[in-house]
Amino acid sequence: MRKRLIAFLLVIMMLAGMCTAFAEEETEAKIDPRYAPSAVGETVSAAIAAGVDPAEIVFRDRLTVGNVTAMRGDFFTDVFGNSTSDIDVRTLLHAYDLVRWNGAEGGYETDPSVVSGIAVTETEAGDRSFILVLYDDLKYSDGEPITAWDYAFSFLLRIAPELKELGGTPQEAPWLLGYDAYLSGEVPYLEGVHVLSDNTLRLTLDHEFLPFFFEMGLLSCKPYPIRVIAPGVAVRDDGEGVYLANADPTVRQPVFTADLLRQTILDPAAGYNSHPSVVTGPYILTAWDGVKAEFERNPYYKGNADGKHALISHLTYTLADNSTMIDALSNGSFGLLNKVMRDDVIRRGMAQIGSGDLRMSNYPRSGLSMLRFSKGKEAVSSQKVRQAIAWCLDRDAVVEEYTGSFGQRVDGYYGVGQWMVGLVNGTTEPPVDPPEDANDAEAQAAYEAELEAWEALALDDLTAYAVDVEKAQQLLEEDGWTLNNEGLRQKEMDGKTVTLSLTMLYPDGNTIAEAFEKHFVPYLAQAGIALELRPAPLSEIARQVQEDAPDGADMVFRAVNFGILFDPTSEFTEEDEAAPAAAENDLYDLSVNMRSTEPGEVLEYVQKWVAFEKQFNEDLPSIPLYSNVYFDFYTSLLQDYAVTANDTWGEGILGAVLAEIPEYQAAEAEAEEDLVFEG
């Protein structure tokens, strides 16, 4: 697996290295170029420093972004859905998280643009408290100050049971001290969150969840305006913890209700979920019609931890079509195409780059696409049945047909862009420093032993399920499945006959169904399994995954993208009577063991992650299909666009500008051409 993945990434890097730049997006407005260097981006600043006349630089202030994944309009949180396009919008609208991931240090830390100071204490029981002091220059998009009370409201809102009445999934936070007691009604306050002053929070983690490898990541929280989402409600703290109360104490009936939130959050015309009016991020949403979203720069956004601001004043984000979007980019209808995945589209884009009109970035995906088995379905509750189904799927053919050269089959619950994968396959150097004293034999031996431990890590021994109908038939027979008169496998389960006549949902319009019809359905039929492929809207697929209802489909083709904080315990529950097999609990235990690693013990965490992947590969609660490389194509006027595997385009666009720098670009292109020629 190590050699295969390294070769895959090298091919992508070589293809990227052959490409250069340019295409112009038409806009009406021009920006005065006489800005301070920090306001024009790094490339423009460098060009000016190199002698380019600022008066010759033409700025544009509108960028249109396209993506083939439609937005659902869940622009608030992931409580009501988590489409990748909606995630992108959230990064534009909501900011000032208490913490951020520091890749250089390999852990979470407080965001230095939000938190001015931190103190950590621990109780005798082992509960750990973090006192966070906020800067006093944080503001909402309407100019109102952001305080510790806003963060406290966010903690309370995200876990509120009322969200479930709205059809959402409240976020779980059992690591916060007193979480269970608060939700059960045992106490009326959340002990793990205290407001000490308008700019000071104290957050306490329950010792039962410690150690936790991503410990400070558990403090993640963005502020939301209570006056917009829950008018008439206030956050109180009487010393025991925060709670929600009526702002007017003379009002007897609770104001914070599901009916209130249904109006303020889900109203189709003005609800905060689809039309958040007061936000904290670099942009403000000015229009949303169900397909296209319009944004303007938020004048009160102070910039991110790296000092980057929104420099492009107007953004449009809309649906793109695979068949036409490269041409639309070339003629200026789009300025940026995000997360391009399809092989033929990528190749068309790369062909256009040779003219010098476009630029390109590519980055490995931190997720995968897979066939998820439904926990509530008896037919796929057996591990041997799931394995038999996997032995009937030509995954390599499906991946090749659907993703071409830009996707890779994966054999576990991971994406090629995850940081753990890089450490295991050798594309990332392990965080091991040689001893300071080269003559210290003991330190040198320990150093070499740790390097050997890293070298020993691999995913090569994962079962690479391929087409083997005989093996599938054998597994089914071992599990008691016999052929009926129609050539289908059946078995008596709990007093009734269950037949392996299965259904699978896939997203409407997704062409991967054609590959399944050719490289999956016929082999299943040979093994005695019938499969019906059913298209469904993304909302139905999301509901199926959430509910795992017995009357739903047996399988779902779905995609998942992982965040930095990888904690799959929510996917593999501790006590789930509808779980496909007892091994489901093994995956839960392995997940808990993985996250229970001390922060900073990277080798130990990755070793546990490999053990989890091996168990997943054997249990097969899902059949992993592929991970891939995303491609972004964009106009050469877009300077300093910096998107990576763990960013969205909404984060990558900060610090970028639309600027035409003829002399500087010509010199840059000439240097690149020389480099390609010499190579």
- Across 29-56, average pLDDT: 70
* Portion of the chain with pLDDT greater than 70, in percent: 89
What are φ and ψ of residue 376, in 5° steps? Answer: -85, 5
Would 460 be classed as within a structural domain?
A: no
Query: Of 203, 236, 266, which one is at a domain's C-terminal end?
Result: 266
Condensed to tens digits (0 to 9), the pLDDT of residues 280-317 reads: 999 999 999 999 999 999 999 999 999 999 999 999 99
* 548 and 562, same domain (yes or no): yes
| pLDDT of res. 546 | 76
**Which CATH number fits the domain that encloses residue 6?**
3.40.190.10
Q: Is the pLDDT of residue 228 over 90?
A: yes
**The total number of structural domains that make up the chain:** 3
Q: Is the pLDDT of residue 85 over 90?
A: yes
Would you say 206 and 193 are in contact if contact means Cβ atoms under 8 Å apart? Answer: no
* 669 and 588, same domain (yes or no): no
* 623 and 634, same domain (yes or no): no
Q: Is the pLDDT of residue 578 over 50?
A: no
* 329 and 392, same domain (yes or no): no
Q: What is the DSSP letter of 215?
A: G
Would 651 be classed as within a structural domain?
A: yes
Condensed to tens digits (0 to 9), the pLDDT of residues 142-154 reads: 999 999 999 999 9
| pLDDT of res. 445 | 94
Would 324 be classed as within a structural domain?
A: yes
| pLDDT of res. 575 | 53
Residue 461 has, within 13 A of its CA and on its CB side, a CA count of: 7
Would 321 be classed as within a structural domain?
A: yes
| pLDDT of res. 50 | 86
* 262 and 310, same domain (yes or no): no
Banded pLDDT at 31 (limits 50, 70, 90): very low
Q: Is the pLDDT of residue 334 over 80?
A: yes
* 331 and 314, same domain (yes or no): yes
* 498 and 556, same domain (yes or no): yes
Condensed to tens digits (0 to 9), the pLDDT of residues 393-412 reads: 999 999 999 888 899 999 99
* 621 and 656, same domain (yes or no): no
Banded pLDDT at 170 (limits 50, 70, 90): very high
Q: Is the pLDDT of residue 25 over 60?
A: no
Structure tokens at 290: 């169900």
Q: Is the pLDDT of residue 670 over 70?
A: no
Cα(206)–Cα(246) distance, rounded to whole angstroms? 28
**Which CATH number fits the domain that encloses residue 251?**
3.90.76.10
* 176 and 35, same domain (yes or no): no
Would you say 364 and 415 are in contact if contact means Cβ atoms under 8 Å apart? Answer: yes
* 238 and 117, same domain (yes or no): yes
Banded pLDDT at 663 (limits 50, 70, 90): low
Q: Is the pLDDT of residue 668 over 50?
A: no
Q: Which among 408, 392, 401 is positioned nearest to 469, based on CA atoms?
A: 392
Q: What average pLDDT is seen over the chain?
A: 89
Would you say 304 and 113 are in contact if contact means Cβ atoms under 8 Å apart? Answer: yes
SS (H, E, C) 306-368: CCCCCCCCEEEEEECCCCCHHHHHHCCCCCEEEEECCHHHHHHHHHHHCCCCEEEEEEECCEE
Banded pLDDT at 64 (limits 50, 70, 90): very high
Would 455 be classed as within a structural domain?
A: no
* 318 and 249, same domain (yes or no): no
**Which CATH number fits the domain that encloses residue 491?**
3.10.105.10
Query: Of 589, 606, 628, which one is at a domain's C-terminal end?
Result: 628
Domain residues for the domain of 207 are 98-266
Q: Is the pLDDT of residue 9 over 60?
A: no
Cα(106)–Cα(604) distance, rounded to whole angstroms? 13
Q: Is the pLDDT of residue 664 over 80?
A: no
Banded pLDDT at 274 (limits 50, 70, 90): very high
| pLDDT of res. 610 | 97
Query: Of 237, 266, 295, which one is at a domain's C-terminal end?
Result: 266
Residue 650 exposed, middle or buried by CB count within 10 Å (0-12, 13-18, 19+):
buried
Condensed to tens digits (0 to 9), the pLDDT of residues 87-100 reads: 999 999 999 999 99
| pLDDT of res. 103 | 73
Would 314 be classed as within a structural domain?
A: yes
* 612 and 666, same domain (yes or no): no
Contacts of 78 (CB under 8 A, 6+ apart): 87, 171
Would 443 be classed as within a structural domain?
A: no
Condensed to tens digits (0 to 9), the pLDDT of residues 607-625 reads: 999 999 999 999 999 999 9
Q: Is the pLDDT of residue 677 over 50?
A: no
Cα(151)–Cα(145) distance, rounded to whole angstroms? 12
| pLDDT of res. 82 | 82
Cα(185)–Cα(189) distance, rounded to whole angstroms? 9
Q: What is the pTM for the complete model shown? A: 0.87
Condensed to tens digits (0 to 9), the pLDDT of residues 337-346 reads: 999 988 889 9
- Across 16-43, average pLDDT: 47
| pLDDT of res. 312 | 96
Q: Is the pLDDT of residue 62 over 80?
A: yes
| pLDDT of res. 644 | 84
Would 431 be classed as within a structural domain?
A: no
Of 678 and 571, the one with more pLDDT = 571
| pLDDT of res. 20 | 34
